[in-house]
Each structure stands twice: as structure tokens, then as C-alpha cells.
Amino acid sequence: MVTRDDIRAIITPAVLDSLFSIRFPCEPDQTPEWRSLSGSPSDANLRRLALPLLQQLSAFGPDPNIFPDLLTVLGSPDQGLFPRHAVALIFLLDQCPRYYYSEGTDARWVSAFFDPLVQRLLDHLLAQPAELQLLGHERWEGFSYSNFLYISSLILTAADHSEDVRRHLDLHDISQERRKEIHAATGIANPFASLIATEGEDPLTFSRWMRAGLPPVADIYEWAYLRLAIVDVHRPVLERFGRYPWRNGSLGRLNSLEEEQFLEESGHFGEVDGETARLIRSDVAEGQWTRLSLLAP
């Protein structure tokens, strides 16, 4: 049985500090360099740090329900370092598996092990009282507004990955409120309002944007508006299918005929290949898991 001490021995405050510094190198009171905001970190230091952590965590799996409350590694939500450490933990569980383990049968670990962990963590974080909410700038003492927008967007990214349509209804409300806040703080209007008005309810919009390349932005604030637009275009997929069809293969699920058509129209965006899907379905049917690949740090 995994204990709190087991998790704390792996995910220490120093580890969380390092993860945060690697992902968000900008000084807290500065403005992030917006031209680099959309790229995945390729820092060798991140790989050396994250891969052993993910391997150790996977050894406790594959059942994510055996994990204790992940908030135990973060300390009390009212502590000063809690926001940084919470976002660092989200980054480790949500983004890092996608950077390194999206191919082959490892994709099942992303969708069926790490994703449930991070969604459970988000359940806790989003249920905190208003004064402790990480999506509020006042919780990020010493951070510029632009840096807060950049850092807290990682929370929205992780929430996007949920297949629970109720989470996306909450995200819709959050994104609407955040647009108002950005406009009030900066005077900058949402440049993507008309685009969302015309394309926002189409389930194919998200995959189309990702394949064609995201619309250009002029600064960090337009980037923040774009990130909110991406939040919006996830929801129609779930409202239509009740799940993300591109994730079926990595979870051992079979596609419906309607999903097959959708995946064809989306250019098979985000799908694992057919052989990988077959192997994962076989593992699911046999009640077994192929171990997470041992990648070199």
C-alpha cells in the first residue's frame, strides 16, 4: 500500500522548486517572453529530473486509486510556496508524461494513470475557498499579472484534459470571467471573439487549429485570450461524444461509427496508431499493463 511518506520521499519541496524554475524561468515580477510560450520545454535538465520521477510514480501503479491525497506533498494550501508547488506538481503529472510517453503502449499510462491523478489533484485545488484559488492573481504575491496569466494557464491546460463535461462547463464560466478580468486590467479586447463566435461550437475546431497551427498573437495578453479560446473548443467534443475520441485507442476503447467518422475528418489528430491500439486493447482485456518504457534521462 502506498503511504504518504512514500510519495513525499519522491516528490520533495526541492523537486517541486526545480520543476517550477525549469518550466517558468521568468522572474516573478517580470513579463514572460511571449514568443516562446507555445513550445514544450526541451531543457535536458527537465528530462533528467522528470523521467526518474515518472518512473518511480508508475511503480506504484497502475491503479491511480491507490494513491494517497496528492495534496500531502504540497503542505497547507495557505502556505506561501503552495501555488508554485501545486503548479509544479500539475506540470509533472499532466505535461511531462505527454512530452515523453505519448508513443506506443506508454500512451495508456498517460491517459489511464497520470491523467486521473492530475484530475483528482485539480478537484482538490479548484474546491479551495476563493482566497486560496490558484486562478486568482491575489494568490500569487510578487508575481506580475502577465506572469500570473502564463503560469496559471497550465492549470487550465490540465483541466482541458478531463473527459468530464461538468469540468468543462465550469471551465467555460472560468474562461468567461477571466476574459473580463484581462480586459479590465489591460484594456485589451479579446481578438478571438469573432473566431469563437463562428467556430467555437464545432467539435472539429480544436483538432483543426492544432493541425493547421494556432492563430498568431501579438503579446502575452493576446496569448492568454488564445489559451481561453482553446479551453472553449474542447467542450463541444465532449458534448457530442461524452469523451475524447482521439483517446479511445490509448484507453483500450473501441470507436463508435460516429467517432470513426469524426477521427477521419480530424485527420486522426491525437490518436495512437492501430497496432498500439490493438496492443492496449489486448492488455485491457487480459487485465494487465505493459510496463512504462525505461527511457534514458
pLDDT average, residue stretch 20-42: 81
Q: How far is the C-alpha of 88 from the C-alpha of 244, rounded, in Å?
A: 26
Whether residue 110 contacts residue 37, with contact meaning beta carbons closer than 8 Å, is answered with no
Residues 6 or more apart in contact with residue 287 via CB below 8 angstroms: none
Whether residue 160 contacts residue 95, with contact meaning beta carbons closer than 8 Å, is answered with no
Q: How far is the C-alpha of 79 from the C-alpha of 221, rounded, in Å?
A: 28
**Amino acid in position 250:** S
Look up residue 225 and give its three cell numbers. 485570450
Please indicate whether residue 296 or residue 167 has the higher confidence score (pLDDT).
167
What percent of the chain is helix, strand and coil (3-state, nearest 5)?
A: 65, 0, 35
Question: pLDDT tens digits, residue range 222-269?
Answer: 999 999 999 999 999 999 999 999 999 999 999 999 999 999 999 999
Question: pLDDT tens digits, residue range 50-74?
Answer: 999 999 999 888 887 777 777 889 9
Q: How is residue 273 annotated by DSSP? A: P
